[in-house]
Amino acid sequence: MSFNLISKDTGYNKEVRHETFCMNLPFITTKITGIDNQLLEKQIKDLCKETTGKESRSIYRKAGEGEGIFKIYGGNRTHQYLHQESLEFSNLGDIAIEHSRTMFHKNYISQLVMQACWGIIYKKGDGSTIHHHGTTDVSWVYYVKTPKGSSPLVFPQCAYYTPENELKILEVEPEEGLMVLFLGNVDHLVSPSEIDEERIVIAGNIDKQEKYNLWKLEK
């Protein structure tokens, strides 16, 4: 059993996909090397101190609620422009863009740009409700720090059968240095953390240049 979330050809390269992800949706998991995760952790913590006490808001949507503001339950987050903050974040964003290019047909788009990029520190009890990133073309997550027992990234609409014919919901186990890329309109969530140590991630949205230009005008 699988759930097809694309009703027509949108230009995505359906050959690039996780073997269990809805069978025909592009989805990438890749281990990134050469990244100083300790430096990223320090920078994220420093930026989170600057936003302490401010309402945690984002530009994506709760699943099934149409337009709106999504709020994580718990967790400290940075502003949404990490890719403009330092070379380390910029380089990571460039890596995400390069990997996301393979999710499209070569003749379908010309340029991809980072629309938003933010860091989140999840403490015990923190997580995120089911949501999607609206009309964003590609969303991504990079795991900076994932202590044992960290909550997985769950895609509740994406079901698959195992070789043993067991029906499962797709869950991605967090691993330091792992990057996950998926379509922005796909629902996902992170269950509340049950461990005492912090789990730290960087997430981002990638759009076609022309869509990004329109988004900037609307802002």
pLDDT of residue 7: 29
Give the separation between CA 175 and CA 58, rounded to whole angstroms: 24
pLDDT band, very low/low/confident/very high, at 152 (cuts 50, 70, 90): very high
pLDDT at 72: 52
Residue 10 confidence (pLDDT) above 60: no
pLDDT at 13: 41
Q: Report the alpha-carbon distance of residue 186 to residue 134 in Å, rounded.
A: 9
Residue 58 confidence (pLDDT): 47
Q: What is the pLDDT of residue 153?
A: 93
Q: Give the mean model confidence (pLDDT) for residues 19-44.
A: 81
Q: Which two tokens stand for residue 50?
A: 């600057």
**pLDDT tier at 166, thresholds 50, 70, 90:** confident
Closest CA to 61 of 214, 205, 193, 217: 205
Cα 176 to Cα 200: distance, rounded to the nearest angstrom: 9
CA distance 140 to 125: 23
3-class DSSP state of 145: strand
pLDDT tens-place string over residues 167-205: 778 889 999 999 999 988 888 899 889 999 999 999 999
* CA neighbor of 78 nearest in space, from 101, 96, 59, 52: 52
∠ Cα 33 34 36 (to 5°): 115
DSSP class of 186: S
Please give the Cα distance from 119 to 195 (Å, whole number): 19
Does residue 63 surpass a pLDDT of 70? no
Beta bridge partners of residue 153, listed in sequence order: 172, 190
As given in the structure block, the two tokens for residue 188 are 């996902």
Give the span between the Cα atoms of 148 and 48, in whole angstroms: 23
Number of neighbours of residue 167 by Cβ within 10 angstroms: 9
The one-letter amino acid code at 152 reads: P
pLDDT per residue over 99-130, tens digit each? 998 887 666 656 889 999 999 999 998 888 88
Residue 70 reports pLDDT greater than 60: no
pTM of the model: 0.80
pLDDT, residue 4, reads 32
Give pLDDT, residue 47.
92
Q: In 3D, which of 14, 6, 129, 145 has the Cα closest to residue 74? A: 129
Percent with pLDDT over 70 in the chain: 70
In the predicted structure, residue 48 carries a pLDDT above the cut 80: yes
Lowest mean pLDDT among 59-63, 151-155, 215-219: 59-63
- Establish how many alpha carbons lie within 13 A of residue 28's alpha carbon, considering only the half-sphere containing its beta carbon: 27
